[in-house]
Amino acid sequence: MGSGKSVFGKRLAKHLNLKFFDLDKHIEQNYRMTIPSIFNTFDETVFRNLETKELQKILQEDNLVLSCGGGTPCFNNNMEIINQQGLSIYLELNEKNLTDRLTKSKTKRPLIAGLKSEELITKISELLKARENYYRLAKLKISEININIEEVVKQIENYN
């Protein structure tokens, strides 16, 4: 959450001349509800099950770049599904960078809604600790904040 997956994914897809999908936006369009509304109307379990269902549908397509939500890899064997279907990339940022980005973000995120600055730092730290083992299963890890797309393409080519 807040690592720049959507922005990075769009840039990468454009550079590689591939289709781009944002899983959260896809879910919002298909179900005509925002992610926060799904969380509030139902619960996280319902959202995670919808997320897995839509993830599996999207991954049946070839030649695409997919941006997933920060929790996607952590539920319902999603990381295994992603790794079986393609090349996963973990955009690794530290707690401070994520906190700075999320504080400035205008996107509503249900897991951090209404948190004050210190609470946000604590929540991000907790989420990273809980999710890190899943993120580390990604095939490629990118740790630079402002990485050049050409450099990422080189890493992808070297991976294959």
Per-residue pLDDT of the chain (160 residues; tens, 9 = 90+): 778 888 889 999 999 999 999 999 999 999 999 998 998 899 889 999 999 999 999 999 999 999 999 899 999 999 999 999 999 999 988 888 888 888 777 577 777 887 887 888 888 899 899 999 999 999 999 887 667 788 888 888 887 6
Which phi and psi angles does 21 have, rounded to 5°? -125, 135
Q: What is residue 72's predicted lDDT score, i.e. its pLDDT? A: 96
List pLDDT tens digits, range 93-115: 888 888 888 877 757 777 788 78
What does the block give as tokens for 84? Answer: 């079986």
Domain extents for the chain? 5-149
Q: What is residue 90's predicted lDDT score, i.e. its pLDDT? A: 92
Residues of the chain above pLDDT 70, percent: 95
Entry pTM: 0.85
Fold observed for domain 5-149: Rossmann fold (3.40.50)
